Amino acid sequence: MNHLLKMLDLSKEEIIELLNLADQLKYEKANNIPHPHLAGKTLAMIFEKSSTRTRVSFEVGMYQLGGHPLFLSSNDLQMGRGEPIQDTARVLSRYCDGIMIRTFGHSIVEELAEHSSVPVINGLTDFSHPCQIFADLLTIREYKGSFEGLKVCFIGDPNNMANSLIVGALKLGMRFSLASPEGYTLHPEIAAFVADYPDAFEQTTDVLQAAKEADVVITDVWASMGDEGEAEERKKAFANYQINNQVMEVADADAIVLHCLPAHREEEITAEVFEKYADVIFDEAENRLHAQKAILVKLMAPSVLEI
């Protein structure tokens, strides 16, 4: 594992290894046990898409690991003014020990990794959001104890979140049910992946069917960053694709609700349901920090894991 670009690249064993490391680092942080595994190392953080959780969790994570985060917006880079991605990759590789990028097209991350001599971490693309999914998986395991046999239900757009969550869930032995409107289809790479899991995956337009006996119910905003031009059209298409009391009544009695945030209350989730499960949702948000610290250590200081 030289980079973290998408969940499709990872084996079940690699996912579990990262989750176990995140657990360890979370325990050490809670018990004030220092873990300066990245002392003297610098992470370049490229943000072509703005963020609250991604920026703060990576900056704090690098600090807690003894390293230094370097925030770079599009205005700070020549890449935003026409410098080829491969040149940016080669320059940053000479200065920094790792690169995290939050951007639009997934091909940008792939090209960056191809030309970088240091690890590249996908902080989000239009296709994939692996860092968020590690936080989700960490939260699911904390609340449910294990993955095997659980049913995950995602209600909404089959976007970057759903793409990554589907892969992570199926690789770890969970069943997955996706509820989305007619016309909102799976990305071809994800459709090819789920073809190998015919008994564990379903996509339906029926929200209640998808949520029936689900152990984990998840949603995301109807219009992701970059889809703002379709916001009104999506409000109409997704009007009935909401986590509400009716949905939770058909889910398992001990089901949990997750949301990657920010949440648009009364759109993809009601305020009542959000507040009922707020503790879980903000545990999930906190777990971005612990999961990403594990990713940083695994990629930027793998030797410490062999001690």
90 has binding-site annotation = no
* Annotation marks residue 288 as catalytic: yes
* Annotation marks residue 96 as catalytic: no
Closest CA to 241 of 269, 215, 261, 214: 269
64 has binding-site annotation = no
130 has binding-site annotation = yes
* Annotation marks residue 102 as catalytic: yes
**Cβ neighbour number for residue 107 with a 10 Å cutoff:** 13
Of 64, 132, 203, 242, which one is the catalytic site residue?
Answer: 132
Of 106, 175, 259, 288, which one is the catalytic site residue?
Answer: 288
129 has binding-site annotation = yes
Residue whose pair of structure tokens reads 């349901």 in the numeric block: 273
Of 220, 234, 242, 290, which one is the catalytic site residue?
Answer: 220
Of 96, 97, 175, 260, which one is the catalytic site residue?
Answer: 260
131 has binding-site annotation = yes
Helices and strands, counts by H and E, the chain: 12, 9
* Annotation marks residue 157 as catalytic: no
261 has binding-site annotation = yes
225 has binding-site annotation = yes
204 has binding-site annotation = no
| CB distance 25 to 186 below 8 Å | no
107 has binding-site annotation = no
86 has binding-site annotation = no
* Annotation marks residue 132 as catalytic: yes
53 has binding-site annotation = yes
102 has binding-site annotation = yes
Helix boundaries (H) for 154-237:
160-171, 188-194, 207-211, 231-237
CA distance 107 to 194: 22
Cα 73 to Cα 26, 41, 211, 226, 275, distances in angstroms: 29, 20, 39, 17, 33
The helix/strand/coil state of 99 is strand
Of 3, 37, 102, 234, which one is the catalytic site residue?
Answer: 102
* Annotation marks residue 129 as catalytic: yes
Which residues lie below 8 Å from residue 280, measured CB to CB, with a gap of 6+?
A: 139, 143, 256, 257, 258
94 has binding-site annotation = no
Of 129, 141, 187, 290, which one is the catalytic site residue?
Answer: 129
Q: At what angle do helices 160-171 and 130-144 cross, to 10 degrees?
A: 50
The helix/strand/coil state of 247 is helix
96 has binding-site annotation = no
Q: Indicate the annotated binding residues for carbamoyl phosphate.
A: 51-54, 78, 102, 129-132, 260-261, 288
Q: Indicate the annotated binding residues for L-ornithine.
A: 160, 220, 224-225
Supply the residues annotated as catalytic: 102, 129, 132, 220, 260, 288
Q: Indicate the annotated binding residues.
A: 51-54, 78, 102, 129-132, 160, 220, 224-225, 260-261, 288
